[in-house]
Amino acid sequence: MVACLSCTPDAFPRTNPFPFSKPQFGSQEALLSLHKCTNFKHLKRVYAKIIRHGLSHDQLLIRRLLSICSSYGKMDFATLVFHQIQGPLTFTWNLMIRSYTINDCSKQALLLFNLMISQGFPPDKFTFPFVIKACSAASAIEMGEVVHGLAIKTGFVGDLFVLNTLMDLYFKCGKVDFGCKIFEKMRVRSVVSWTTMISGLVSCAELDAARGVFEKMPGKNVVSWTALINGYARNQPEEAFELFWRMQLDNVRPNEFTLVSLLKACTEMGSLKLGRWIHDFALKNGFKLGIFLGTALIDMYSKCGSLEDARKVFDKMQVKSLATWNSMITSLGVHGCGEEAISVFTEMERGNVRPDAITFVGLLCACVQTNNLEEGQRYFKYMGEHYGITPIPEHLICMTELYSRAGMLDEDCKLVNAMPSEPNDNILPALLHLSKVYGIVNMEKFLYGKLDVSTIDANSLRQNWLQVSKWDAG
């Protein structure tokens, strides 16, 4: 009798009886999923899956998720995720503090650091630079001094990165002596230390001191050269070019920011010829027309009298920042090309670029140059109703000019009433000038009634009247 082979044990299949079962989702699979995320919605789905599979305790995984949240600017969601972590490691705290700072949430970064210390989590040498940068961003000098003291107490103040960020903090907050003391007491100085010292002194208008440090610097790089050139660009533009020639002799290749600083110097000198030379230098040396270089070229060409060249640069730029759009709109407006300025603004909105207060200064200037009250009124209303932009003094000056020319004195008074209780140094001389030019006696009386005379410095008032006199003489 022949046995039925189909009934023997070996006849049963040895493969997985459930071929369609899902593979296991572990930490490696989760990291791969995070790596493949293309948008925030996708990221949230991956996080939900991480929770379902019990992986939310894996801090390496969660740190990767927090980094992606930060890159998307979704700090509210990052905060929610972070506070679900049981006993976050110092590295994880550091990541969150840094993420807050780079996303313009420096105050939240400082609050998180306070929470970290109060809950007994120990900072490390990476914590301090992140926190000090948050203090710089928030101009929180008192908090910075507290953090400095804590760095001394915990033994991390000797770390080079900590010292460099502390020096930068003190200079940015105007504490020149403190910044200099840190530099002088450094046992070891990196190129960053020297450059931070030079940049700090330049930013505090200590140009001679910055030059002295620069000349002592053992190994000058493009950043240190650029820092000093940038310092001279606004005050002594000819000297900025002298430094640039020296830089060339030292065989240090300039970067985009070096050229931007030189274009500022050209603007200060009003030298279209030098500006064109820098533009030509950039093209011959393979510099791309990036956001910073392109915007600086637009500004230089416009202020040196070649609006045509400014527009050519603008049209060639493939990527434009808000500053680029503002520069082009303002340039067109100042040169009386009101319709073109409005056309560029329309193009800007079509590109989903959100304007700011400076954008509308340019538009209103264009309306002033073309004496277009109707368009001025429309944009003044539009910026508040559509974009929620609160008028700044420059907006009010433009509108006052337009209303004054049209003899609409009641509207002038309404605008002045909308000003802060004490007009600042920019708006006061402009309004006094308009009141004299157009004989607006009511506005002048209103201004004096609005100002608290007891708070006005006599010298400041004298300077305002001198400014008015210059305008009248012109």
The string of DSSP codes covering 302-335 is HHTT-HHHHHHHHHH-SS--HHHHHHHHHHHHHT
Mean pLDDT value across residues 276-282: 96
Both 198 and 249 in one domain: the answer is yes
Cβ distance 446 to 418 under 8 Å? Answer: no
pLDDT at position 464 is: 44
Cα gap 39→28, rounded to integer Å: 20
Both 213 and 264 in one domain: the answer is yes
Cα gap 111→40, rounded to integer Å: 26
Domain range for residue 251?
189-284
Q: What is the pLDDT of residues 156-196, one digit of tens each?
A: 988 999 999 999 999 999 999 999 999 999 999 999 999 99
Which residue do the tokens 């590109």 mark? 351
Both 275 and 210 in one domain: the answer is yes
How many C-beta atoms lie closer than 10 Å to residue 211's C-beta? 18
Cα gap 176→201, rounded to integer Å: 7
Both 408 and 366 in one domain: the answer is no
Residue 416: band (very low, low, confident or very high) from pLDDT cuts 50, 70, 90: low
Cα gap 410→17, rounded to integer Å: 87
Both 405 and 377 in one domain: the answer is no
Cα gap 237→257, rounded to integer Å: 15
Both 373 and 432 in one domain: the answer is no
Residue 455: band (very low, low, confident or very high) from pLDDT cuts 50, 70, 90: very low
Residue 456 pLDDT greater than 70, yes or no? no
Q: What is the pLDDT of residues 115-135, one digit of tens each?
A: 999 999 999 999 999 999 999
pLDDT at position 54 is: 84
Q: What is the pLDDT of residues 65-115, one digit of tens each?
A: 999 999 999 999 999 999 999 889 999 999 999 999 999 999 999 999 999
Residue 440 lies in a domain: yes
How many C-beta atoms lie closer than 10 Å to residue 242's C-beta? 13
Residue 312 lies in a domain: no
Measured CA to CA in angstroms, residue 8 lies from 3, 5, 308 at distances of 9, 5, 91
pLDDT at position 35 is: 86
The answer to whether the predicted template modeling score (pTM) of the entire model surpasses 0.95 is no
Residue 299 lies in a domain: no
Cα gap 450→461, rounded to integer Å: 15
Q: Which of 372, 390, 408 is the last residue of a domain?
A: 390
Both 280 and 251 in one domain: the answer is yes
pLDDT at position 465 is: 39
Residue 98 lies in a domain: no
Residue 5: band (very low, low, confident or very high) from pLDDT cuts 50, 70, 90: very low
Which residues neighbour 199 within 8 Å (Cβ) at sequence distance 6 or greater? 171, 210, 227
Q: What is the pLDDT of residues 6-26, one digit of tens each?
A: 444 444 444 555 454 455 777
Structural domains counted in the chain: 3
pLDDT at position 415 is: 57
Both 462 and 411 in one domain: the answer is yes
Q: Which one has a higher pLDDT value, 261 or 58?
A: 261
User: Measured at the alpha carbon of residue 426, what is the angle toward residues 422 and 430, in degrees to the nearest 5?
Assistant: 95
pLDDT at position 418 is: 55
Residue 346 lies in a domain: yes
The alpha carbon of 456 is separated from its chain's Cα centroid by a whole number of angstroms, namely 33
Residue 233 lies in a domain: yes
Burial of 121 (0-12, 13-18, 19+ CB in 10 A): middle
Both 346 and 397 in one domain: the answer is no
Q: What is the percent of the chain where pLDDT is above 90? A: 62
Q: In this structure, what CATH number is given to the domain that contains residue 259? A: 1.25.40.10
Q: Which one has a higher pLDDT value, 3 or 242?
A: 242
Residue 345 lies in a domain: yes
Average pLDDT, the chain: 84
Residue 409: band (very low, low, confident or very high) from pLDDT cuts 50, 70, 90: low
How many alpha carbons lie under 13 Å from residue 284 in its C-beta half-sphere? 6
Burial of 441 (0-12, 13-18, 19+ CB in 10 A): exposed
pLDDT at position 1 is: 43
Residue 398 lies in a domain: yes
